[in-house]
Structure 1
Amino acid sequence: MTHTTQPLTQQQLGDIAAIATRVADDPFYVSDCEGSLQVWREKALTHVRRDESGEIEMYSFPSTYKVTDQIVELDLSTWDPGEDEIDDKQRQDIHDLVEARAVLPALVAEVRRLQRQRKYLIAQLAKRDAEPGRGDTALREFLAGEETHVVADDSDGPEHVDDCPGCEAFTLTGHRAVVAGDGQQQ
């Protein structure tokens, strides 16, 4: 895929989604110890101990491993960040690449969610007779990022019921929370 600032085509998004599927269950781990910057597949590490949040806090490198288990190894001039600009740039690049890979599945899921929401909104605009000018105003409010939750009129999901306290009818997107005079959401 080439670098572009244009919106993604469905083919490009499909290609990215395929990558996200491949990497979802194959996290990488960055080791930065004594001038050796390494990236490993987490599943290759041994004696792994995780903290309460699931982050690796202790591990050992495997004594034997497949060549594909170690992704990269760089020998840096320094042991610690902040000592050399080039080493710091390499550290940051490696961490950014590993983190971008880790968040890719969530980003694809968010794009898909937004696509479904957009499709819903377009359908609502097409099938509802908004009072003159209200549809355009509602759409501008929505696109401006006003806090809304999109629900079907007959939704009884945990995030909304028909008599949702603090909501008022909102023709385009279902309902909108009412904000009191003091700016607090009710």
Structure 2
Amino acid sequence: MELTSSSHTSLAGNLASIAFTFGEALVTLFAYLAHDWLLLKWIISGYFALILPYLYFVPESPYWLFSRKNYNQLEHCLNKIATKNGRTRDQWHPYYIKLIQDPDIAARQVKHAARTTKEKFLRHVPLLIPCGLIGFVAMLLYVKISYGLSAMNDAVSPYWNTIIGAAVEAIGYSKFVVSC
């Protein structure tokens, strides 16, 4: 979520939730193909080994670089961010210099951001209540389908139970995205 702008953070978080349900279905497919827990463990480990090199390309967080006082890397990272956002060096660099000269600015900004976040939260409570209810209903449906279908041993395969539960969970997440 750190790789997105603040205006897209909720979308990225919800996409991560939907990707989680896709992962549930994928692990279910692996389990169906493996039929053995040890083989399943090796399949999942191989899958992660294929994805692991991606971490090399994920940049460090500017906040982490600032907290570690890696100012050269921080400047380079901020320059890349500014370039992606169509900003010139003249637009952001004076603020960077001011931040480096007076690190207390960051602490004051965090306090102000916390106050602003609380105010925003209180304004959005009327919207959060229906979103929470939709999430609650989606969770009830997921639990009902997952555990209710597993009680019918002969009717539906446990693999299909998990896939159906993941699909219902994904629908619940997508309704949450649409409603919020």
- TM-score, normalised to structure 1, is 0.22
More helix by share: 2
Tell me which of the two structures has the higher relative contact order, counting C-alpha pairs closer than 8 angstroms and 6 or more residues apart. Answer: 2
Larger radius of gyration: 1
- TM-score, normalised to structure 2, is 0.23
More strand by share: 1
